[in-house]
């Protein structure tokens, strides 16, 4: 017993050992069994069972037996737990050294175990931080990003609850206030703001840029500059105890937000009751937890800044698109709003297709990015009109106003010349015959004048009618041809064609206001659009924008333009846009060259397009059945 202080261990009997509770301390216990060979052989099963159920007991065996004893090999105790045999006649000093060496060996095993445990924990935490970094970097939904940040910080620190605040800046970029965004508790609370000062805990951290580690917020002294607001605990039936509050700083070392973690516990997934929160089951935040949370906060700040930057770029691009569309539509005020409405119709149709669970479109599901892609393609589908001459783009009738005026003045001149010729006849009559029979002669001259005048007026009327972009009547077409062959000889012997070949050519257009070359120029806007959009370095999510816009004038039977694609070659997004484009053109407010048609008539025309294999009938059914048009038409009627 004189050597007991050197061994520094408690000596108990085997019977007392079995009654010990060595698990409650949650630490590893080192146990050296010093037994005779007979005690071992008698109790080995019981010892084995105990060791099997007590994972925190690290043991070794010292057997009172001859050195050559190997009987332990047949027992249920693992062979590697046996340290050595000590014969009964061995000197005491030998026994003491064997015990000390056995405990030293156990300590080395425990140290190795603890070291491995710390390595595993560190490796796990590093892995967690890596996963968190990847997750935060890839998240585009800002609300979900904030929730992921808070969840990650809570999980890595085993926090029961927490909140996240963001710094808001004024117009000059200076911090203005701190806005509460989310809480781990399901509080029915709207966002609110806190001043960035030293009075509140979160405000203090945002103001100073320093983290706070508070063991018990209810035991804060009056000496502290900050105070704990217990109203949240009362409101949510919660009890905040330990608290770790850290700033999220960007690469400029500026605070962009604050993470507030509450009530550290042993296991993240353990649910604490209100009473348990007041006990030692709530732990203080240690230095290791601080370091881990600060690492998460750094990643979170970068993710928030990146997300804000992406949002600013998207806002910038959205403004560019809107300005571009407005600029194009300002060239033709009669179609103002067309591109925006086509985008709304097409997006509405895409969302309706998303909801279909049976039939041809059941496997088509447009993601959020693809919906955005459809919207941009629809907004910019007519951008190529920037390359079309304005006189062609806004041409309301077959001839320009000045050209029709020129024809009218020509007929007016001819009528005046007829009048001059007839006046000359009157003078010649008077010279030859005097007043004799002049009254009757004058009446005949007047009748001739009226007939010529009526004939010229009828020609001008037919020309004016034919100048309209509506379908050219067959009778007018023949009359125009006759007029184009006529010429008039003036009093000075000159010849005037009643219609110039170019004028006749335009007036003979069967439908619309454009001739073949002008129509080709208008149709070229699709190719201009594609060339323009192809020069924009679209992101991977938006790479289809040029192709979708390129196909909005293609027809299922291959008769469309600019490439004459067939049904299988046209992207479904472009097929949807084609329906939206035609529908808006039909139902848009009256334009100089056409009247808006009623809703049912528009549907009839679209169904005719289906019969002619121009547009997709199934998509048209979805458009009509889901009343994709209703909300937009209602707004237009209200306005």
**What pLDDT sits at residue 24?**
63
Q: How many CA atoms lie within 13 A of 393 on its CB side?
A: 19
Residue 201 has pLDDT above 90, yes or no: yes
Average pLDDT over residues 580-598: 79
392-442 pLDDT, tens digit each: 776 778 888 888 999 999 999 999 999 998 999 889 888 888 888 888 888
**What pLDDT sits at residue 187?**
47
- Model-wide pTM > 0.85: no
**What pLDDT sits at residue 57?**
86
Point out the least confidently predicted range of 276-290, 360-374, 586-600. Answer: 586-600
d(CA 35, CA 40): 6
Higher pLDDT, 362 or 589: 362
d(CA 195, CA 107): 54
Higher pLDDT, 636 or 562: 562
Average pLDDT over residues 531-557: 92
3-state secondary structure of 137: helix
**What pLDDT sits at residue 186?**
58
439-487 pLDDT, tens digit each: 888 899 899 999 999 999 999 999 998 888 877 777 778 888 888 888 8
Helix (H) or strand (E) holding 326: helix 287-330
User: Please, where are the H alpha helices in 139-242?
Assistant: 142-157, 201-208, 231-236
Average pLDDT over residues 371-380: 94
3-state secondary structure of 166: strand
Average pLDDT over residues 49-76: 88
Residue 603 has pLDDT above 90, yes or no: yes
Please name every residue paired with 61 in a beta bridge, in sequence order, or none if there are none: 33, 82
Average pLDDT over residues 573-596: 83
**What pLDDT sits at residue 1?**
47
CB 99 within 8 A of CB 34: yes
96-149 pLDDT, tens digit each: 888 889 888 888 988 888 787 776 666 666 666 566 666 666 666 777 878 888
Please give the angle made by the CA atoms of 185, 291 and 269, to the nearest 5 degrees: 35
CB 500 within 8 A of CB 463: no
Q: How confident is the model at residue 636 (pLDDT cuts 50, 70, 90)?
A: low
Mean model confidence pLDDT for the chain: 85
C-alpha pair distances (Å), 365 with each of 45, 142, 356, 370, 377: 64, 23, 9, 9, 18
């Amino acid at each position: 017993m004189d050597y007991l202080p050197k061994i520094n261990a408690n000596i108990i009997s085997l019977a007392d050992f079995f009654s010990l509770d060595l698990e409650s301390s949650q630490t590893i216990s080192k146990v050296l069994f010093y037994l005779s060979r007979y005690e071992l052989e008698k109790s080995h099963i019981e010892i084995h069972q105990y060791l099997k159920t007590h994972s925190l007991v690290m043991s070794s065996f010292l057997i009172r037996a001859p050195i050559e004893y190997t009987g332990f090999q047949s027992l249920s105790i693992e062979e590697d737990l046996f340290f050595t045999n000590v014969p009964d006649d061995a000197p005491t000093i030998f026994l003491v050294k064997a015990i000390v060496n056995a405990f030293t060996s156990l300590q080395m095993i425990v140290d190795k175990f603890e070291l491995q445990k710390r390595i595993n924990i560190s490796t796990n935490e590093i892995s967690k931080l890596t996963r968190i970094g990847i997750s935060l970097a890839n998240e585009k939904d800002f609300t979900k990003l904030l929730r992921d940040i808070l969840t990650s910080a809570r999980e890595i620190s085993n926090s029961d609850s927490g909140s996240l605040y963001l710094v808001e800046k004024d117009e000059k970029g200076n911090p203005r206030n701190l806005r509460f965004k989310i809480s781990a508790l399901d509080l029915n609370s709207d966002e609110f703001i806190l001043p960035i000062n030293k009075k509140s805990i979160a405000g203090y951290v945002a103001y100073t840029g320093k983290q706070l580690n508070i063991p018990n917020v209810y035991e804060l002294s009056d000496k502290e500059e900050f105070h704990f607001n217990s109203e949240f605990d009362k409101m949510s039936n919660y009890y905040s105890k330990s608290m770790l509050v850290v700033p999220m700083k960007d690469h400029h070392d500026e605070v962009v937000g604050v993470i507030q973690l509450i009530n550290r516990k042993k296991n993240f997934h353990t649910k604490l009751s209100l009473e348990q929160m007041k006990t030692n089951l709530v732990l203080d935040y240690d230095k290791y937890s601080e370091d881990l949370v600060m690492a998460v906060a750094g990643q979170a700040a970068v993710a928030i800044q990146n997300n804000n930057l992406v949002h600013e770029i998207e806002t910038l691009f959205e403004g560019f698109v809107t300005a571009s569309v407005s600029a194009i539509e300002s060239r033709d005020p009669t179609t103002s709003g067309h591109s925006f409405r086509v985008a709304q119709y097409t997006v509405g149709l895409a969302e309706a297709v998303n909801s279909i669970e049976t039939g041809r479109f059941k496997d088509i599901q447009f993601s959020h990015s693809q919906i955005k892609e459809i919207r941009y393609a629809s907004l910019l589908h007519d951008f190529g009109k920037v390359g079309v001459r304005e006189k062609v783009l806004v041409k309301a009738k077959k001839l320009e106003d000045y050209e029709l005026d020129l024809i009218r003045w020509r007929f007016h001149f001819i009528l005046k010349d007829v009048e001059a010729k007839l006046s000359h006849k009157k003078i010649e009559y008077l010279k030859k015959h005097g007043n004799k029979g002049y009254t009757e002669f004058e009446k005949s001259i007047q009748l001739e004048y009226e007939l010529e005048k009526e004939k010229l007026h009828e020609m001008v009327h037919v020309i004016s009618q034919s100048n309209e972009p509506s379908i050219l009547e067959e009778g007018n077409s023949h009359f125009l041809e006759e007029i184009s062959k006529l010429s008039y000889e003036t009093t000075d012997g000159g010849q005037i064609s009643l219609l110039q070949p170019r004028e006749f050519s335009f007036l003979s257009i069967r439908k619309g206001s454009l001739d073949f070359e002008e129509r080709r120029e208008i149709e070229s806007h699709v190719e201009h659009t594609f060339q323009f959009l192809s020069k924009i370095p679209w992101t991977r999510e938006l790479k289809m924008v040029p192709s979708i816009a390129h196909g909005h004038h293609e027809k299922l039977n291959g008769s469309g333009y600019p490439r004459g694609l067939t049904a299988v070659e046209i992207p479904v997004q472009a097929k949807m846009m084609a329906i939206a484009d035609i529908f808006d053109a039909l139902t848009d407010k009256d334009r100089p060259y056409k009247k808006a048609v009623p809703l049912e008539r528009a549907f009839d025309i679209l169904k005719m397009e289906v019969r002619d294999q121009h547009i997709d009938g199934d998509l048209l059914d979805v458009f009509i059945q889901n009343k994709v048009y209703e909300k937009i038409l209602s707004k237009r009627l209200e306005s």
